Chain A
Amino acid sequence: MSTPTVEKEPASKVDLAESGDGAGAVQEFDITLKVRRYDPERAEDAWWDEWELTMFGTDRVLDALHRVKWDVDGTLTFRRSCAHGICGSDAMRINGRNRLACKTLLKDLDTSKPIVVEAIKGLPVEKDLIVDMEPFFQSYREIMPFMINNSPAPTAERVQSPEERQRFDDTTKCILCAACTSSCPVFWTDGQYFGPAAIVNAHRFIFDSRDDAGDMRLEILNDKEGVWRCRTTFNCTEACPRGIEVTKAIQEVKTAILTRSL
């Protein structure tokens, strides 16, 4: 029988403090979560609910909503899927700004006041924080968000230079969360405006060298409810959780329509 050798622990990739409580030391604080509720089966009008919660410094608004839904009031209704800023399900108005609940850390908000959460504006509210996204997707479908190429398909991929790819890189990042469109005052008025998201996704194909239907999309967005309704208020750029320069993309589409007409 051999003497057991004391194996040296492998160096950890995470630097843990020598002393202290380790992972337990995450800062804790109290918040008030104030949510605008709506349930047509319970009441005709919307109402506000408030909850006092003790949350951690690593928690996001989504964690606070989960805490309520799982531990306090199961009727609270909201959408979320991946919970990590990719699926685009949980866009909501947090303290008056459109944000993804899963990307908004509570510690970055003013926790001395209630954290106010509402459904995004301009789309019909179905229940609590869930809105009917169908009008939003209808505009998206209208700009034909798919590649159209009339030349015969090559045996390999359609080649594109890095510069050509870079041209529309920014607008490929859209996750269709509707934070931009539902932050746009022009969209709020009557919902007729195509909205930033549809224009961003048109931009993604208009400036793609492999696509042949740019003219058709420019024609669609030359509509009276198209790009010319944009008043460059930059709400969309401010709201985009993916950091897309939305207003700039809209401006580029305007310029493309103009140069095409000249």
Chain B
Amino acid sequence: MTTTNSEAVLPAQGIEAPRSGRIDPKYLRSNPSSGSFEMVAWVFMRVSGAALVVLIFVHLFSNLMVGEGIHQIDFAFVAGKWANPVWQFWDLTMLWLAMLHGTNGMRTIINDYAEKDSTRLWLKSILYLASTVIIILGTLVIFTFEPCLVDDAGNLMDYAPSFCENIVN
């Protein structure tokens, strides 16, 4: 005899699978993210990392190995480098890449270690604020740096590097 009871079609109808729907809300992913920000950030970490290897080692080499080595580094040395547009561009790139790379790295660490959303928000706010200040300040210094400061009378300040005497006088 065939059964006519439609409720018997599914043997387990009405019986839910064990634990179904009992998932701890902590584990539910709230809103699926659209866009590919995380992918771009991931690629950026690798590209900027590769660029930083070149930028940082040339920077270290030219500062510490060439010429008189570490003994040459003083106000005048830095001033001399920033008088050259190549080094201006070099240091600017290094600043921006290192800062964005470092900031994104810290963002990752905060995401990985902070357990509460409010902690995350706080830490990231401080991080972004600090990064913004440093990037703006650094960029300003590179472009507005004036090594040969003069007083009101037009005389060089005492601490001005020696090469300024050729320029000012």
The residues of A with any CB-CB pair to B shorter than 8 Å are 124, 132, 134-135, 138, 185-186, 189-192, 220, 222-226, 228-229, 231, 254, 257-258, 261
Q: Which residues of A contact B71 (CB under 8 A)?
A: none
B42 near A: Cβ within 8 Å?
A: yes
Q: Which residues of A contact B111 (CB under 8 A)?
A: 189, 229
Check if A135 sits within 8 Å of B43, measured CB to CB: no
**A191 and B27 in contact, given A224-B38, A257-B39, A258-B39 (Cβ under 8 angstroms):** yes
14 new A-B pairs (CB below 8 Å) besides A192-B27, A223-B33? Answer: A135-B24, A189-B115, A190-B115, A192-B29, A220-B32, A222-B36, A222-B38, A224-B37, A228-B41, A231-B112, A254-B42, A258-B39, A261-B36, A261-B39
Distance A226 CA – B39 CA, assembled complex (angstroms): 10
Check if A226 sits within 8 Å of B23, measured CB to CB: no
Chain A nearest CB, measured from B20 CB (Å) = 8
Check if B41 sits within 8 Å of A189, measured CB to CB: no
Check if A223 sits within 8 Å of B112, measured CB to CB: no
Chain B nearest CB, measured from A189 CB (Å) = 6
Rank and list the top 5 A-B pairs by shortest CB-CB distance, nearest first.
Answer: A135-B27, A228-B38, A224-B33, A191-B27, A228-B42
Chain B nearest CB, measured from A153 CB (Å) = 23
Taken residue by residue from 82 to 111, chain B's Cβ proximity to chain A (1 for < 8 Å, 0 otherwise) reads as: 000000000000000000000000001001
Distance A224 CA – B36 CA, assembled complex (angstroms): 8
Q: Which residues of B contact A185 (CB under 8 A)?
A: 112
DSSP class of A's interface residues: helix, strand, loop or mixed? helix
Chain B nearest CB, measured from A160 CB (Å) = 30
A–B Cβ pairs within 8 angstroms, 6 of them: A189-B113, A222-B38, A224-B37, A229-B38, A229-B111, A261-B39
Q: Looking at the complex, which one of A124, A135, A228 makes contact with B39 (CB distance below 8 Å)?
A: A228
Q: Which residues of B contact A223 (CB under 8 A)?
A: 29, 32-33, 38
Check if A191 sits within 8 Å of B26, measured CB to CB: yes
Check if A225 sits within 8 Å of B29, measured CB to CB: yes
Chain A nearest CB, measured from B83 CB (Å) = 41
Q: Which residue on B lies nearest to A126, using beta carbons?
A: B19
Distance A204 CA – B26 CA, assembled complex (angstroms): 28
Q: Which residues of B contact A135 (CB under 8 A)?
A: 23-24, 27
Check if B43 sits within 8 Å of A226, measured CB to CB: no
Q: Looking at the complex, which one of B24, B28, B37, B41 makes contact with A132 (CB distance below 8 Å)?
A: B24
Distance A215 CA – B163 CA, assembled complex (angstroms): 63
Near A by CB (< 8 A), chain B positions 23-82 give: 23-24, 26-29, 32-33, 36-39, 41-43
**A190 and B36 in contact, given A228-B42, A231-B112 (Cβ under 8 angstroms):** no
Q: Which residues of A contact B26 (CB under 8 A)?
A: 190-191
Q: Which residues of A contact B115 (CB under 8 A)?
A: 189-190
Check if B112 sits within 8 Å of A186, measured CB to CB: yes
Chain B nearest CB, measured from A186 CB (Å) = 6
